[in-house]
Amino acid sequence: MTVLLVGGVAWMGAHELDPRRPIASDVAPLKVQVVSLDWKWLFIYPDQGIATVNQLTVPVGVPVSFELTSSGAMNSFFVPQLGSQIYTMAGMVTRLQLQADHAGAYRGLSANFSGDGFADMRFATDAVPAGGIRTVGPCRESRDQPGARRCRLR
């Protein structure tokens, strides 16, 4: 009987902490697609039409719905101050729900060894006051990718 009780409590608790489970909120989540590349991170904001490299910007108090994948080697997406760590794998999409409760600048990193550039596979995470993510200064056309824009976010 004790095993059933403890097992039931553990099962319920594990499902409460599921990283894919949406965060209850009156605010619609911000969608961010994350791609781990060779020793850098690509963050795509599909609803805003913006992408950044090694820079994640999220509004405080707004749930963020991440869809994560990898272009090659398996990696581990981790922002310790925001919560859960989750793996990215080529050919798969994993999901993670996080929310910044306080404004600040945080460090994100890969917690999985992936080769020579692993030690430099970090990214900046800025939690900014709610009110939407906006670009700072003009967006410029990318020289490397026709049709793409380069913008600084705040």
Residue 1 has pLDDT above 70, yes or no: yes
Residue of 142, 125, 112 lying closest to 32 (CA atoms): 125
Q: Please give the backbone phi and psi of residue 45, each rounded to the nearest 5 degrees, phi first.
A: -105, 90
User: Among candidates 80, 107, 100, 108, which has minimal Cα distance to 29?
Assistant: 100
The residues that bridge with 141 in the sheet, in sequence order, are 149
Over residues 6-19, the mean pLDDT reads 58
Please give the model's pTM, rounded to 2 decimal places: 0.76
Q: Residue 26: its pLDDT value, please?
A: 83
Instruction: With residue 13 as reference, give the H or E element that holds it.
Output: helix 2-16
pLDDT for 53: 92
Confidence of residue 27 (pLDDT cuts 50, 70, 90): confident
The C-alpha atoms of residue 149 and residue 89 are separated, in whole angstroms, by 27
For 97-122, the pLDDT digits (tens) are 999 999 999 999 887 776 676 677 88
How far apart are the two ends of the chain, measured CA to CA in Å?
55
Structure confidence at residue 33 as a pLDDT band (50, 70, 90):
very high
- Mean model confidence pLDDT for the chain: 80
